[in-house]
Amino acid sequence: MKQVIMVLSILFLQIVSAQSEKKAIENTLQNYIDGSSYNKLDLIKKAFSKDATLYLTGRDGFKRYSPETYANFFKKNTPGTFNGRYGKILAVEIVKDIATAKVSISIPKARVVYIDLFLLKKINDSWKIISKTATKIDEKQ
């Protein structure tokens, strides 16, 4: 009986730990979402590791960007003002100290939806985005 209680206790602790890790990852993703929706450059930068790499397609084609460069895309807008981007976390998968995540960013005014894919790493007890890529989906489809 003691062994059964011990095994159940260990399983319970693992579940609780996994849930808290997922919540920490969701907080990091929410910093990205809120930062990019409300032009808060500090929140965008906070979500990424300093040496993260973003692989995005823009007007000039497919390029690699730093978190600093990406955050500056929102610089022209007033900080704290909603810019029409709605974000939703679609999926998170964790394996020890790494994770993947999928986020939907919709911009109804432009009739566009982006699907963002993230690679995250737990660095110094904090989850950070280390890589991001995205694709644009026209809502008209």
pTM to 2 decimal places: 0.84
pLDDT at 59: 86
Q: Which residues contact 44 (CB under 8 A, 6 or more apart)?
A: 31, 32, 35, 36, 67, 70, 71, 74
| Rounded Cα–Cα distance for residues 121 and 66 (Å) | 17
Which domains are delineated in the chain?
Answer: 2-138 (3.10.450.50)
- Sequence-separated contacts (24+) of 76-82 with Cβ below 8 Å: 77/39, 78/39, 79/38, 79/39, 79/40, 79/41, 80/38, 80/39, 80/40, 81/38, 81/39, 82/37, 82/38
Kindly indicate the confidence band of residue 14, based on its pLDDT and cuts at 50, 70 and 90. Answer: low
pLDDT over 90 for what percent of the chain? 81
**What are the tens digits of pLDDT across the range 61-101?**
999 999 999 999 999 999 999 999 999 999 999 999 999 99
Q: Which residues contact 91 (CB under 8 A, 6 or more apart)?
A: 100, 101, 102
Question: Which of 79, 87, 80 has its CA nearest to residue 32?
Answer: 87
Q: What would the two tokens of residue 77 be?
A: 């807008």
pLDDT at 19: 75
